[in-house]
Structure 1
Amino acid sequence: MKSSLYLCLLLLGLQVRGQHRSNLNDEQQEQKTLHFPEDHSQAEGENLAHVKIVSSNSDFAFRFYKQVREEGDNKNIFFSPLSISTAFAMLCLGAKSNTLNQLHKGLAFNLTEIEEQEIHEGFQHVLRLLNDPHQEFQLSMGNGLFIDDRLKLLQKFLDDVTNFYHSEPMYSNFQNSSEALKEINKYIETKTHGKIVDLLKGLDADTVMVLVNYIFFKGYWEKPFNNLSTRDYDFKLDDKNSVKVKMMHHSKVFNVHRDENLSCWVVEIPYKGTASALFILPDEGTMKQVEDALLEETLSNWMQSLKKRKIYLDLPKFSISGSYNVKSLFAKMGVTEVFSDQADLSGVAENTLLKVSKAIHKAMVDVSENGTEAAAATVIELVPLSAEIPPPPHITFDRPFLMIIAEKSTHSILFIGKIVNPAAKEE
């Protein structure tokens, strides 16, 4: 069959929510510190293929962030780099020739350092760890493959996407596009716990397959914010404008680093379990400097430099989302052929020439102190009267800042965000 049919790719990242849970003591907190990506190879039972993809996934995350930043001037940014890289790595199973080379390069995989098989084994290991039902936070990640009844997939591709990427193959009648659309949107709504509804507005007439990647994360702060301390505060959008936000407050011990070279504060706020949120507050006028320095090496240096110290912390509550045309962003990163008539996805289906027609990504984040649960209890803390030298720094996130959510056991960056306006309405 010579006519070019379309492969529609959908990518989803979802929700992070800080909720109330009981505090851990300082010794427990110290054990929970997220130091990555150093010393992966010493981790018990570590998967070598997984170790090899860590660096590439981090490189891709920051490259993609910088591309998004160029397009989203002065707007909130939030996306899941792991969701995007996982979906396109899965597509690599059916790609060949220059199409495959471009995908590998775009995803920051160097085949002189890692074999193609190891890429997929690495993602297989990450997915297995992230979907562990015994974790102390709620995290699920997976892939759905909606296939037109008329499309005959190659058995090897079907076996590989199922084995490596835990993909669920589902057959639909794409000739009845409205019904197929309803099935796909229902699947997305279910997998995202009702957070993303009717995301797809329509399907191209020639669509024969839709790939859905979803990631859902719900975390609980180890040291919850007391909602009784939350107050109205001015968040500076720029030199002249500000918005009112609900500012949460903490005066506890956190892992903190002051980066004098980049002129920013780095505060790690751990979730219960093996995930942490890293909040980066650039000094006024230094946001671009910090963003330009976002590299795996920078993140690793921050993590290794974190020290426990008491701080007065002010962090706004916020709920933001981001929607992205991955096709256009990838084109600017040199990945073009998979979207063109020159695409070689001959490893996907029998007798059908395919290309990717759409690739979209939507992610949401909701960060709060979970006031409803916290309001039912009263906590009184007594500390010795003493002259602290030096006094605890007061770190107030009252201007644009960055956020990175990472998972320790897989050394994975789950989400990256830039909060320019915490009060902005969700898209």
Structure 2
Amino acid sequence: MTAPFFFHGLLLLVGLCCPLPITKTSYLYEELYEDPSIDHFQCRKVVLTICNVSITLFKEMAQRSGNGNILFSPIRVIAALSMLSLGAKGNLSKHILEALRLNKTGLPEAEIHKCFRYLLRALHKPEEFSPLKSGSSVFIHQGLTPENKFVEGVKDLYHSDVISINFTDSSRAKTQINNYMMEKSKKEIGDIVKNLESDTFLAVVNYIILNAKIISNYGCRFLKVKDYHLGYGMATKVPTIHTVDLNHLFRVEDLSSTVLVYSLLAGSFTTYFILPDIGKMKKVEQRLTYPHFRRMRRQLSLRMVDLETPELSLSETHDLESVMSLLGITYAFNGVTNSDSSSVMNDTLPKSLKVISKAMLTHEDKWSKPGKSICFKNDGSVDVGHVQFNRPFLIFIQDTKNDAPLFLGRVVNPKN
């Protein structure tokens, strides 16, 4: 499990926007959740801020985790902390938004929360519309009564469940939370909570899972077991997907990297793979900034690519309480009352806080060989690029509808 770190940086995930075929059911789903009071253009400021915060968080993780894997969901991490401001005491609500730099958007606090409702909506689509699974739950000590305003905000703006639980029996409470999250994730997540203090009064737990499948317009796919170079002279055998297809492939010279941009799952998500030259990973991590991604977008140009990517199975859990501490946030909750005295919660009440975010990503191919009749054959008239992702690389995935950053990470070992 990767430790949490302080963040306040710069990143914008921009990229290829591949329109999806619009079915009647998906259209009805979008209409059902459309809120005319939300200004989507203004919400792009919130997206930019989320991305700004993400890059420094990633850099801190990269610096402190050595050469290990990194994976987190910027939208889920920032949403969890922003949601806490709904129940914060006094001026702490504004302080939390300032710490997250959301105050830089120039939007009123209420509008910022509405934007999260809009951005998170795509993460909570029914399974028939999206292979992305995501959920969020707020567990409150049963001796406290949450205020209606807080409960309504958590449910409506952040698509979260609110559940009463007895935290005084920490072992039983941990089991209850883990069982609940396992049920919500359909058994894909187990033991998301590793430890829990008996004086906990509030636990926020969220997750995001993407089981990605590649798109192949030509049906040209092979699955082979090949060497993946971990560094320091070490290598491991991993299933490697070999495709020949149309993709965006180009160089970014000041990052000393080859960049691949392609779409997953019928174009609903755009994936960026950044492959640093040998020995240049640290340089890339230090230099990566928003202008790089803006220039990448201008470089997008489809070409035939002979591509080898490893199957991925990545999973990381982040405890976020330390992030709040590093941001200077000493959390005081004002969203509940003591059920015994109806007084606002005070220092005599339980005050340990638990905030957890889990990200899981798989990228695989279920087919062992391509269809013989449609596999692309180059007669020499087509310029075919070739790239092998057989050593550590960076990955990030965004929602093509609103540019929200879903995943950001570093792949050192594809099978962690």
Letter in 2 for 1:194: K
Letter in 1 for 2:132: L
What's the offset of the Cα at 1:234? 2.1
Distance 1:209 1:410 in 2: 31
Distance 2:411 2:378 in 1: 36
Distance 2:87 2:329 in 1: 14
Which residue number corresponds to residue 346 of structure 1? 334
Matched position secondary structure for 2:167 = coil
Which residue number corresponds to residue 323 of structure 1? 317
Which of 161, 166, 170 aligns to 1:173? It is 166
Asked if 1 retains the 8 angstrom alpha-carbon contact of 2:222 and 2:369, the reply is no
Query: Are 1:296 and 2:290 an aligned pair?
Result: yes
Query: Are 1:421 and 2:409 an aligned pair?
Result: no
Which residue number corresponds to residue 245 of structure 1? 238
Distance 1:310 1:157 in 2: 52
Which residue number corresponds to residue 403 of structure 2? 411
Asked if 1 retains the 8 angstrom alpha-carbon contact of 2:262 and 2:271, the reply is yes
Distance 1:168 1:267 in 2: 38
Distance 1:70 1:77, change over 3 A: same
Letter in 1 for 2:121: R
Letter in 2 for 1:313: L
TM-score, normalization: structure 2? 0.81
Letter in 1 for 2:408: I
TM-score, normalization: structure 1? 0.79
Query: Are 1:279 and 2:304 an aligned pair?
Result: no
Asked if 2 retains the 8 angstrom alpha-carbon contact of 1:95 and 1:348, the reply is no
Which residue number corresponds to residue 37 of structure 1? none
Q: Which moved more, 1:206-215 or 1:63-72?
A: 206-215
Letter in 1 for 2:236: V
Distance 2:365 2:208 in 1: 22
Which residue number corresponds to residue 366 of structure 2? 370
Distance 2:321 2:223 in 1: 41
Which residue number corresponds to residue 16 of structure 1? none
> Deviation digits for residues 378-415 of structure 1, max 9, x if unmatched?
55435462344xx4222111111011011111211101
> Deviation digits for residues 292-333 of structure 1, max 9, x if unmatched?
2333332233233211011211111121222333333454xx
Q: Which moved more, 1:135-144 or 1:202-211?
A: 135-144
Matched position secondary structure for 2:262 = strand
Distance 1:247 1:196, change over 3 A: same
Asked if 1 retains the 8 angstrom alpha-carbon contact of 2:230 and 2:391, the reply is yes
Letter in 2 for 1:110: N
What's the offset of the Cα at 1:245? 2.1
Which residue number corresponds to residue 19 of structure 1? none
Asked if 1 retains the 8 angstrom alpha-carbon contact of 2:303 and 2:384, the reply is yes
Distance 2:225 2:115 in 1: 45
* Identical residues among aligned pairs (%): 29
Question: Which runs of structure 2 are paired with 1:158-307 in the superposition (5 Å)?
Answer: 158-223=151-216, 229-271=222-264, 272-307=266-301
Distance 1:284 1:345, change over 3 A: same
Asked if 2 retains the 8 angstrom alpha-carbon contact of 1:251 and 1:313, the reply is yes
Distance 1:293 1:287 in 2: 10
Asked if 2 retains the 8 angstrom alpha-carbon contact of 1:145 and 1:210, the reply is yes
Letter in 2 for 1:345: F
Which residue number corresponds to residue 130 of structure 1? 123
Letter in 2 for 1:314: E
Which residue number corresponds to residue 393 of structure 2? 401
Q: Which moved more, 1:215-224 or 1:150-159?
A: 215-224
Distance 1:157 1:61 in 2: 27
Which structure has more relative contact order (CA 8 Å, sep 6+)? It is: 1
Matched position secondary structure for 1:62 = helix
Letter in 1 for 2:60: Q
Which residue number corresponds to residue 336 of structure 1? 328
Asked if 2 retains the 8 angstrom alpha-carbon contact of 1:67 and 1:329, the reply is no
> Deviation digits for residues 146-202 of structure 1, max 9, x if unmatched?
222211222222222122112222222333444432321111102222111122234
Q: CA RMSD in A?
A: 3.0
Matched position secondary structure for 1:152 = strand
Matched position secondary structure for 2:271 = strand
Distance 1:295 1:356, change over 3 A: farther
What's the offset of the Cα at 1:421? 1.9
Distance 1:408 1:190, change over 3 A: same
What's the offset of the Cα at 1:81? 1.3
Letter in 2 for 1:400: P
What's the offset of the Cα at 1:279? 0.8
> Deviation digits for residues 196-253 of structure 1, max 9, x if unmatched?
1122234211112222222233333222897972223222222522222222211221
Letter in 2 for 1:62: I
Distance 2:92 2:399 in 1: 31
Asked if 2 retains the 8 angstrom alpha-carbon contact of 1:235 and 1:398, the reply is yes
Letter in 2 for 1:409: K
What's the offset of the Cα at 1:65? 0.9
Letter in 2 for 1:325: D
Distance 1:143 1:364, change over 3 A: closer
Which residue number corresponds to residue 68 of structure 1? 61
Aligned length: 377
Letter in 2 for 1:421: N
Unaligned runs of 5+ in 1: 1-9, 11-27, 33-43
Which of 65, 85, 88 aligns to 1:92? It is 85
Question: Which runs of structure 2 are paired with 1:93-112 in the superposition (5 Å)?
Answer: 93-96=86-89, 99-111=92-104
Distance 1:58 1:112, change over 3 A: closer
Asked if 2 retains the 8 angstrom alpha-carbon contact of 1:130 and 1:140, the reply is yes
